[in-house]
Structure 1
Amino acid sequence: MPDPVALFATVVLLFPMGYFLLAAPAFLLVSLDIPPVTQLLRGMFSSYFLMVAIAGAVGTVAVALTGRLFVALAIALIAAFAVWTRRWFLQRWDAQLQARDAGDAEAVRRLRRLHWGGMLCNAVELAVILISIPYVVLTPA
C-alpha cells in the first residue's frame, strides 16, 4: 500500500531537480564570458540548491511525523547535502567570476566545469530518488 506522505515528500523533491534538469543545459549554448549570463546561471544554481534544501527539510519533517525515520534520515541527508553544496559551489563560482573579471583566460573553462559538475550532481541525485521511489513509497508491512 502506498504511503502518501512519503510520496508527497518525494514529489516535492523532484520538482526543483526536474526544473534544473531541463533549464541548466540551455546555458551550454552560451558563452560564460558574458557577465549577465554567468550571473543568471549563478542565481539559478543558488535557487536550485536552496529549493532542494527547503523541499528536503519539509519532506524530512513530514515523513518523520509518520514514524518512517530511515526515510526521513535519507531525505534529511539530501537536504544537508544541498546546503553544503550550495555554499561550496557558490564560493567557487564567485572565485572564478573574480578571476575571469581580472583577466584570467582559464576562468571561463573552470566556470564551465563547475556548470557541468552541478548538472551531474543534480542528475545523480535525481536518479537516486527515482530509483528509490518503489522502496520509499511503499508502507512497510
Structure 2
Amino acid sequence: MTPDPLAVAAMIILLFPMGYFTLASPAFLLVKLDIKPVAQLLRGMFNAHFLVMGVAGIIGTAAFLLAGRLLFAAIVGLLAALAIVGRPRFMQRMDDQLSAGDAGDADAARRLRRLHWTGMLGNAVLLAGLLASIPYISTTA
C-alpha cells in the first residue's frame, strides 16, 4: 500500500505543534512559577499552543476530508474544537491563578503548576493517540 499524501500532510501539520509543546513545556518544571515573568511566559506558551492547535486542527480536518478520510476528519475536527472551545476556559483558570498570586495567595503557584501538568498530560495523551493512528492513516483506504 502507498501512503496517502494528504493524510500524511495532515499528520505532519498536527504532529509538529504537539511535538514542540511536548518538548518545550517540561522546561517550566525546572523553574518556580511564583516568578511573575516565568508564569506569564508559561501562560503565553499555552495560549499559543491552543491557538496553533485550533488552526492546525482545522487545516488537518480539511486535509482529511480532501483525502476522503471522514472518520479521521471527524476526530481531528473534535481535536480542533477542543482547542478552540477549551482555550478560553483554560486561559481563564491560568489568569485566575496569576491574579491570585499577585494578590498574595501562597498556593496560587501550586495551582498554576497543577494546570501546567494537566496541560502537558492532555497534550501527551492526544499525541500518543495520534502517533498510534499513523499506521491507519498513512496507507490508502
**Which band: TM-score by shorter chain?**
over 0.9
The share of aligned pairs that are identical, in percent, is 61
Give the TM-score taking structure 1 as reference length: 0.96
Equivalent-residue separation in structure 1 for 2:58 and 2:93 (angstroms) = 25
Which position in structure 2 is the counterpart of 1:70?
71
What's the secondary structure of 2:32's corresponding residue? coil
Residue type of the partner of 1:121?
G
Matches within 5 A, 1:1-141: 1-140=2-141
TM-score (norm: length of structure 2)? 0.96
Paired with 1:49 and 1:133, the residues of 2 have a C-alpha distance of 22
Question: Can you give the 5+ residue segments of structure 2 that lack an aligned partner in the other structure?
Answer: none
**Matching residue's letter, 1:15:** F
Shift of 1:74: 1.0
CA deviations 1:80-133 (Å, max 9, x no partner) are 111122122101000011111111111110000000101001100100000011
The code of the aligned residue for 1:26 comes to A
Secondary structure in structure 1 of the residue aligned to 2:133: helix
> Which stretches of structure 1, 4 residues or longer, exceed 4 Å deviation after superposition?
none
Aligned length in residues: 140
RMSD value over aligned CA atoms?
Answer: 0.9
Q: What displacement does 1:139 show?
A: 1.2
The separation in 2 between residues aligned to 1:68 and 1:57, in whole angstroms, is 14
- Give the secondary-structure state (helix, strand or coil) at the position aligned to 2:50: helix
- Structure-2 separation of matches of 1:137 and 1:79: 20
Q: CA deviation at 1:71?
A: 1.4
In 1, the alpha carbon distance for the partners of 2:124 and 2:95 equals: 23
